[in-house]
A and B are shown apart, each in its own frame.
Chain A
Amino acid sequence: MISSTAIAHLKEKLGDANVLHEKEDLLTLGYDSTPGVHHLPEVVVYPTTTEEVIAAMEIAEREGLPLTPRGSGTGLSGGSVPVKGGMVLCLTRMNRILEIDEENLTATAEAGVITLDLFNAVAAKGLFYPPDPGSQKISTLGGNVAENAGGLRGLKYGVTRDYVMALKGVLADRSLIATGGKSVKDVAGYGFKDLLVGSEGTLGIVTEITVKLIPPPQDKRTILAYFNDVRTAGEAVSRIIAAKIIPSTMEIMDRAVINCVEDYVKIGLPRQMAALLLIEVDGHPAPVAEEAAGVQKILEQVKAAEIHVARDAEHAASLAAARRTALSALARMSPTTLLEDATVPRSRLAETFSEIERLTEKYRLKVGTFGHAGDGNLHPTVLCDERDHEEMERAHAFYNELYEQVLAWGGTVSGEHGIGLAKKEYLARQIGPGGVQVMKRIKQVFDPQGILNPGKIFDEGDPCTQVHVEEGFRVSH
């Protein structure tokens, strides 16, 4: 239990409004978007400067409180859930965009800046920041860096890691770290920056991020195709890439999702189709026209059941409507939405769909699958009710068996959501005990006391942290 003197000290250093400790606040800062995990912290602080981050950490150390960094809490693996209580360090009030450097094509921002706000700010200057996670209108850049977030444009433009040029932050011992810079090349020593990207708040607290910007594409074409079977859709994906066309977006939806969307918005989608692909190519006008024609030709060759090429921006928006509404349509179907991110080599796409179909039947579940086909990154989404324990167990058995197969194909248990609390066991299966050992040793070097986001990525042998999914709240006091 945190002492009242410590609260007073925190308030003195950070200001009253930036220190929360009432039960109602703690309750609402102990979750993220991961179903079933929840744990109360003892105090939540909102530093507005790096000095305040350090001041809060100092008080946390005196009180023996572990620290959990938090952005907007949209994580899907439980990363910002304070499973060991302690202090939640919420970065959302460090939200200044510090610089947009048009000469070096970089932007520097504090960790709490909302992804879409950065996108808009650079767009206003005619520049482009491509990483666009589905949560971009509320996720923070710090959260994106910590999870190495991807997005719809991943196939062509890469993920957050590909844009991070420099990071500033605070390590567990409260020393400052600055790694990387605006130089395009940098091989000075170990790549700390790359280690921090995707570290899920376990190695350091990121306070400032410099990202690379690029000129925006000048033109875009949108194509929508329907398929009678998923195999053909998978083949279309492979052939498009083999034809050396890299679309900016290549999204897939299966029959279950098509039907959910149709139930919800009634826009006349063909319910009998097994899959749809939404494809966008972008870049300079001439190659875009060529690539669009190329895509269309391939779709015809593989005999897609229907091919629609957008005539104009409005038509493009209507073609993209189904994909845009997918999550809403799924989420409304049931109280609980389990959104996973199994990722396989592209060539295994069709097989993965068949496997999902088989397991859906085996475990008698309602599953809709959509995702980034070009990346082999799928979101098999189980629609269930967390109050139904038996159903939840089937859901977990479903994922368990699916991940087994995904790993056998050389895939990964997480394409973009991270390990956090939810996937520790799967990670151990993927990288083996040796891999986990190395990760633990790295963690040791950065954080010998284990105070930064304990209980995440791998277990430390404490049964209290070995929770994967659990119904309701865990209240620590």
Chain B
Amino acid sequence: MSRTEPLGNFTAEDAPHYDDVVQCMRCGFCLPTCPTYALTGRERSSPRGRVALARAVAEKKLEFTPAIKEEAFFCLDCRACTTACPSGVRAGEVMEMCRSQAHAFYPLGKMGKAFREFILQKMVPSPKMMETSMLPTRLYQRLGIQWLVRHLKVLKLGPEWMNKAEGMLPELEKPLRPQLPDIVAARGEKRGRVGFFLGCVMTLMYPNVSRNTVRVLTHQGFDVVTPKDTKCCGAPHLSEGDRETARQLALFNLDLFLAQDVDYIVTDCAGCGAALKEYEELLAERAEHEKLSRFREKIRDISEFLVEVGLRTEGLQEVRARVTYHEPCHLCHAQGISAQPRQLIRQIPGVELREMQEASWCCGSAATWGLKFSQDSQKVLDRKLDNVKASGADILITANPGCHLQLAWGVRQAGMPQDVLHLMELLGRALPPD
């Protein structure tokens, strides 16, 4: 959905397509699904309103005003509106484009720019730098937060963000990437060979989750190939409106994974999965179509993959637990994967799935949104936690590190008893010992 010709009052680089905004018929079906509209009740903070603003800019009825920038960053990019829209409009993606437009119209100050370049263009793209030159804790604080606070003018931050950021950090182990062998062999009857896309947040903050993902895959009969050079998928860059760095990362990963001899490329991070599936569009003018579609055909979220190939359940051990499932936006709305995680949960012997209300409603994390708008985020989170409470489950399952951080923190803050686990950790508990 990007273009390089000028469109109305947008700048030429990475403007939304006019077709994408004209497609909105203003039916309003997206309104009740939008968390920011629920917060403010203000039309301009709704998908329909946001698309109308973008359209007004495209039709030169409006300049790219600060309010549009504000709306672009206030949008959670949760894509709930995409699921609800009968007309195929993708308001979240239009806002993603507007974020990159915002940088063109409202350039950061010198310091801000330097920081931004350092974090997004040097640090995150280099897995080595992320692991060695800084401890993850410090990294996490610097990445995103301090920089965001000081240098992005959209932020109306109180002092609470720092505590929240600190409080959210899980107990950190060593990053997984250097520990994981390049190839882990399948067990039992071999069914194939998959490439594992190990995301940055997963290796740094949830090594135990991805370790379980690899265990599950091998137990299911797949060789797991983890290319060590894998770079960030580009999602943080898209979310901050730095599409160019995102493209460079995407190009790198594209070639890296196509060079592996694998049947599928699997990830356990919903955010990475969504970004990888969008390479086709992101790189439309930068890579050969054939390569892009070959890559696209191989990408699977782990739960999508396991259901597609069929979960081998023999040998699974009983896990006595009542669980409820929170759907990550980037899984259910961005990738349309909703039934598969539930099916896997039901296939684990002993597990009782208790559906919560509004399972596909955002948890309020949304990359750095939860830190930028911490009070709003708390309201979105509270709504989620109430639903978790009402489900009567003792384990809360999710499938994305952003949700994981937010939910684990929220549950702790609220003094709730639930354990928060990634679906692969739950499945890992059912595996026979290695």
Within 8 A of B (CB), among A44-98: 46, 72-74, 92-93
Contacts A27-B62, A28-B53 hold; do A328 and B25 have CB atoms under 8 A apart? no
A335–B43 CB distance below 8 A? no
A10 to chain B, nearest CB (A): 16
Judge whether B183 is part of the interface by a CB distance below 8 angstroms: no
- Cβ of B87 and Cβ of A24 under 8 Å apart? no
* A93 and B40 alpha carbons, distance in the complex (Å): 11
The answer to whether B59 and A138 touch across the interface, beta carbons within 8 angstroms, is: no
In the complex, whether B336 has a CB less than 8 A from a CB of chain A is: no
Q: A328-B86, A332-B87 are in contact. Are A31 and B26 (CB under 8 A)?
A: yes
Provide the bound-state CA to CA distance between A472 and B22, in Å: 10
How many angstroms between the C-alpha atoms of A253 and B125 in the bound complex? 53
Complex interface residues of chain B between 407 and 423 (CB less than 8 A to chain A): none
Q: State which residues 126-148 of A face B: CB under 8 Å.
A: 135, 137-139
Chain B residues within 8 Å of A331, by CB: 25, 27, 86-88
Q: Is the CB of A33 within 8 A of B44?
A: no
Cross-chain contact of B25 among A20, A35, A73 (Cβ < 8 A) = A35
* Interface: B397 (CB within 8 A): no
In the docked arrangement, what's the CA distance between A332 and B26, Å? 13
- Chain A residue at minimal CB-CB distance from B25: A337
B180 is an interface residue with CB less than 8 A from chain A: no
| A residues 436-477 in Cβ contact with B at 8 Å | 472-473, 475
Residue positions of B touching A, CB distance < 8 A: 19, 22-23, 25-29, 31-32, 41-44, 46, 48-49, 52-53, 56, 59, 61-62, 65, 67-68, 71, 86-88
Contact in complex: A25, B31 (CB < 8 Å): no
A223 within 8 A of B: no
- Cβ of A32 < 8 Å from any Cβ of B? yes
- A327 CA / B28 CA spacing, docked (Å): 13
* A31:B19 contact, CB within 8 angstroms: no
In the complex, which residues of chain A have a beta carbon less than 8 angstroms from the beta carbon of B32? 114, 137-138
By a CB distance below 8 angstroms, the chain A residues around B29 are 135, 137-138
B59 lies within 8 A of A472 (CB): yes
Determine the chain A residues whose CB is within 8 A of the CB of B68 once the complex forms.
24
Interface size class of A (residues with CB under 8 A): 35 or more
Which residue in A27, A74, A93 is a CB contact (below 8 Å) of B61?
A: A27
Asked if A358 lies at the interface with its beta carbon under 8 angstroms from chain B, I say no
Shortest A21–chain B CB gap in Å is 12
Contact A28 B43 (CB under 8 A): yes
In the complex, which residues of chain B have a beta carbon less than 8 angstroms from the beta carbon of A137? 29, 32
Interface centre among B25, B29, B61 (most CB of A within 10 A): B25
Q: Is the CB of B41 within 8 A of A24?
A: no
- Do A473 and B61 touch across chains, with their CB atoms under 8 A apart? yes
Taking the closest CB of chain B, its distance from the CB of A333, in whole angstroms, is 10
* Distance A72 CA – B52 CA, assembled complex (angstroms): 15
Given the known inter-chain contacts A331-B88, A473-B61, please indicate yes or no for A24 contacting B26, CB distance below 8 A.
Answer: no
Q: Are B28 and A73 in contact (CB under 8 A)?
A: yes
Q: Which residues of B contact A33 (CB under 8 A)?
A: 25-28
User: 9 nearest interchain CB pairs?
Assistant: A328-B86, A28-B49, A331-B87, A24-B67, A28-B43, A332-B88, A28-B44, A335-B22, A74-B28
A139 to B71, CA, bound (A): 24
In the complex, whether A29 has a CB less than 8 A from a CB of chain B is: yes
B35 to chain A, nearest CB (A): 15
Looking across the interface, which residue of chain B has its beta carbon closest to that of A331?
A: B87
**Which residues of chain A have C-beta atoms less than 8 A from B26's C-beta?**
31-33, 73
CA distance A386 to B23 in the complex (A): 10
| A22-B67, A331-B86 as given contacts; A475 in contact with B61, CB under 8 Å | yes
A-B contact pairs, 28 of them (CB 8 A): A20-B42, A24-B44, A24-B67, A24-B71, A25-B43, A27-B53, A27-B56, A27-B61, A28-B43, A28-B48, A29-B43, A31-B26, A31-B52, A33-B25, A35-B25, A72-B28, A72-B31, A73-B28, A74-B27, A93-B41, A114-B32, A135-B27, A332-B87, A335-B22, A336-B22, A337-B87, A473-B56, A475-B61
- B25: chain A residues at CB < 8 Å are 33, 35, 331, 336-337
Residue among A28, A35, A46, A472 with the most chain B CB within 10 A?
Answer: A28
Q: Could you say which residues of chain A place their CB within 8 Å of the CB of B31?
A: 72, 138
Residue A315 is within 8 A (CB to CB) of chain B in the complex: no
| A436 CB, min distance to chain B CBs, angstroms | 29
Q: Does A387 contact B (CB under 8 A)?
A: yes
User: B87 contacts which chain A residues (CB < 8 A)?
Assistant: 328, 331-332, 337
B42: which of A25, A328, A385, A475 is its contact (CB, 8 Å)? A25
**Does A366 sit at the interface, judged by CB under 8 A?**
no
Residue A23 is within 8 A (CB to CB) of chain B in the complex: yes
- Given A24-B67, A332-B86, A386-B22, the answer on whether A138 and B52 have CB atoms closer than 8 Å is no
Collect the chain A residues with CB atoms within 8 Å of residue B23's CB. Answer: 335
CB A28 to nearest CB in B, in angstroms, measures 4
Asked if A335 contacts B19 (CB within 8 A), the reply is: yes
Interface pair B62/A23, CB less than 8 Å apart = yes
CA of A33 to CA of B43 in the docked complex: distance in angstroms? Answer: 14
In the complex, what distance in Å separates the CA atom of A29 from the CA atom of B52?
10
Contact across chains for B65 and A23 when beta carbons are under 8 A apart? yes
In the complex, which residues of chain B have a beta carbon less than 8 angstroms from the beta carbon of A336?
Answer: 22, 25
**Extra A-B contacts (10), CB below 8 Å, given A33-B28, A72-B31, A328-B86:** A35-B25, A92-B41, A139-B28, A328-B88, A331-B25, A331-B27, A332-B87, A335-B19, A472-B59, A473-B61
Q: Is the CB of B27 within 8 A of A473?
A: no
Q: Which residues of B contact A475 (CB under 8 A)?
A: 61
Chain B min CB distance to A121 (Å): 15
Out of A20, A24, A387, name the residue touching B53 (CB < 8 Å). A24
Q: Is the CB of B22 within 8 A of A24?
A: no
Residue of A nearest to B65 (CB): A24
B230 to chain A, nearest CB (A): 35
A337–B39 Cα gap in the complex (Å)?
A: 30
Query: Which residue of chain B has its CB nearest to the CB of A70?
Result: B43
CA distance A456 to B142 in the complex (A): 57
| Complex alpha-carbon distance, A35 and B56, angstroms | 15
How far apart are the CA atoms of A251 and B28 in the complex, in Å? 23
Chain A residues with CB under 8 Å of B41's CB are 46, 92-93
A329 to chain B, nearest CB (A): 8
Contacts of A327 in B (CB 8 A): 86
Q: Which residues of A contact B59 (CB under 8 A)?
A: 472-473
> Chain A contacts of B52 at CB under 8 A?
27-28, 31
Chain B CB count within 10 A is highest, among A27, A31, A332, A472, for A27
| Chain B residues whose C-beta falls within 8 Å of the C-beta of A385 in the assembled complex | 22
Residues on B with C-beta less than 8 A from A20 are: 42
Report the Cα distance A203→B22, complex, angstroms: 34
State how many angstroms separate the Cβ of A137 from the closest Cβ of chain B.
6
Q: In the bound complex, how far is the Cα of B32 from the Cα of A71, in angstroms?
A: 14
B residues in contact with A335, CB < 8 Å = 19, 22-23
Task: Kindly provide the distance from the CB of B99 to the nearest chain A CB, expressed in whole angstroms.
Answer: 16
| Chain B, residue nearest A385 (CB) | B22
- Nearest chain B CB to A29's CB is how many angstroms away? 5
Nearest opposing residue in chain B for A139, CB measure: B28
Q: Which residues of A contact B56 (CB under 8 A)?
A: 27, 473
Residues of A within 8 A of B22 (CB): 335-336, 385-387
Tell me, rounded to whole Å, the shortest Cβ–Cβ distance linking B50 to chain A. Answer: 8
Q: Which of A320-346 contact B (CB under 8 A)?
A: 327-328, 331-332, 335-337
Nearest-CB residue, chain B, relative to A386: B22
Which residue among A24, A385, A472 has the maximum number of chain B CB atoms within 10 Å of its CB?
A: A24
- Chain B nearest CB from A98 CB (Å) reads 19
Bound complex: CA A139 to CA B29 (Å): 9
Query: What residue in chain B is nearest A46 (Cβ atoms)?
Result: B41
For residue B71, which residues in chain A have a CB less than 8 angstroms away from its CB? Answer: 24
